[in-house]
Amino acid sequence: MRRISAVLLPFALALACAKAETPAADSSAMAMSPAGLTESEVAGTWSGTAKADGGTDTTTMHWTQVCAAGTCNGTLQEMPGVTIVSTYRLEADSTMGVSTPYDDKMFNARVIDNWVARISGTSITGRGWNVLADKPDSVLSRYTFTGTKS
């Protein structure tokens, strides 16, 4: 019993003598954190252009997205008749989206589109990538996009 007491005594004394301190809030860090993106900033009709990253492909794609309540319906001028349905979520100062599988006429494959965007007023910029629907770890292309809200 004495051995246990001798071992526990210093620990018990340290706990008894410890002061409960609450660290001061870092007001400068709180003031600098980005404001959260709101649904009203995302909802609406957006249009813009997208270009493939790297390589020799200089094709510009023209897109339109109509977004509300976590869902966007998108079209590409270069693929008439195809509607791309995406769901999105708000992540701090960004929005992240993923489409349902669709038949991409340019890749001649069933693909899923993924994207991350930042909104500033009525402007949007972002990056995206397309994957094969049946092999989501196979990236077909990466692209950047810009647009405006109408």
> pLDDT value at position 18?
47
| Domain identity same for 25 and 91 | no
> pLDDT value at position 6?
43
| Domain identity same for 72 and 22 | no
Number of domains in the chain: 2
| Domain identity same for 15 and 62 | no
Q: What is the CATH number of the domain that holds 46?
A: 2.40.160.90
**pLDDT per residue rounded down to tens, the chain (150 residues):** 444 444 444 434 443 444 455 555 544 444 444 579 999 999 999 999 999 987 666 789 999 999 999 999 999 999 999 999 999 999 999 999 999 999 998 899 999 999 999 999 999 999 999 999 999 899 999 999 999 999
Range of the domain at 24: 2-32
| Domain identity same for 14 and 43 | no
| Domain identity same for 47 and 104 | yes
| Domain identity same for 11 and 57 | no
Secondary structure of the chain in the HEC alphabet? CHHHHHHHHHHHHHHHHCCCCCCCCCHHHHHHCCCCCCHHHHCEEEEEEEEECCCCCCCEEEEEEEEECCEEEEEECCCCCCEEEEEEEEECCEEEEEECCEEECCCCEEEEEEEEEEEECCEEEEEEEEEECCEEEEEEEEEEEEEEEC
